[in-house]
Amino acid sequence: MPSTIEPGRRRDRCITVYGRRAVLEALADDTLEVAEVIVAESGGRVASEAEQAARARGVPVRRERAHKVSLISGNGRQDQGVVADVVAPAMRSLAERLDELARDPGRRQRLLVVDGVTTPGNLGLIVRSAAGAGVDGLVVPHRGTAALGPQVVKASAGTAWRAPLLRARDAPTALSELTDAGFAILGLDASAERTLWDVELPDRVAFLVGGEHDGASSEAAAYAHGWVSVPMAGGVESLNVACATTLVVFEIARRG
């Protein structure tokens, strides 16, 4: 059946997967809505197989030149000439969420914003932890962090399909919009004197989580109202970004 997502809104409502296995798995899962399958005109057996599976399920198929398919997937070496836009029901744009909150000013919100997390495995683990802890939303920018794709979905153990993901152009833009909406921005920094256990959480707060090597960009960090650390013992300097973020989201959950 035709997708319920308008083409112009797919960027903020769909996760793009590529390659034979990922596309066929999505098409075989009746709980997932596949908006469209895109195949290379000269994709050979793999493209034909994906096209047949899509048409059998009533999913629209679009044929493009191999170069265009590679641009869509962002990974021409591994897409095998097939791409699918899969609807993530809980994913939407940050702007949509902020519009909802503007109509409900008393609603409490606890969000995460990732900036510069470029390893898909780490991003997938963050997505899984955020979903498991029940945070209100995880802002994943289109720029400056790993793309939401098959590797992230795999690392999230499939929770990426239904996690409360919020999309924005980039982290600084997201943080600017959150600040304007009355959110306090707290950055996670291993060198901060104030710890996660001690900080008071206002009704609307967004935690900024930086990348694996360089932390948050200077443009994003400029929006932080304060910084907190995860207290460490035994001479350990810091945790992997996914581990540290897991502690953040479950501390949020613990406080209720």
Q: Which strands, in side-by-side order, build the sheet including 165-168?
A: 92-93, 165-168, 137-141, 109-114, 204-209, 184-188, 226-228
pLDDT at 6: 67
Determine the distance from the C-alpha atom of residue 244 to the mean position of all C-alpha atoms in its chain, rounded to a whole number: 17
User: Is residue 64 predicted with pLDDT exceeding 70?
Assistant: yes
From CA 97, how far away is CA 82, in angstroms rounded?
32
What tokens were used for 208?
Answer: 């900024």
| Neighbour count for residue 103 (Cβ, 10 Å) | 7
First to last CA, the chain: 40
> For residue 37, what are the CA distances in angstroms to 2, 25, 62, 173?
12, 13, 6, 31
Cβ atoms of 206 and 176 within 8 Å: the answer is no
Which domains are present in the chain? Answer: 7-87 (3.30.1330.30), 92-255 (3.40.1280.10)
pLDDT at 2: 52
Cβ atoms of 190 and 196 within 8 Å: the answer is no
To the nearest 10 degrees (0 to 180), the angle between helices 44-57 and 20-28 is 10
The whole-number average pLDDT for the span 180-198 is: 94
Q: Is 235 exposed, middle or buried (0-12, 13-18, 19+ CB in 10 A)?
A: exposed
pTM value? Answer: 0.90
Lowest mean pLDDT among 115-119, 215-219, 234-238: 234-238
Torsion angle (degrees, nearest 10) of CA 231, 236, 242, 243: -60
Cβ atoms of 111 and 183 within 8 Å: the answer is yes
- Tally the C-alpha atoms within 13 A of residue 52's C-alpha that lie toward its C-beta: 7
Question: In the structure, what pLDDT confidence band is assigned to residue 206 with cuts at 50, 70 and 90?
Answer: very high
pLDDT tens-digit map of 113-161: 999 999 999 999 999 999 999 999 999 999 999 999 999 999 999 999 9
Which residues lie closer than 8 Å to 42 by C-beta, 6 or more apart? Answer: 66, 81
Which residues lie closer than 8 Å to 173 by C-beta, 6 or more apart? Answer: 141
* Rg of the chain in Å (alpha carbons): 19
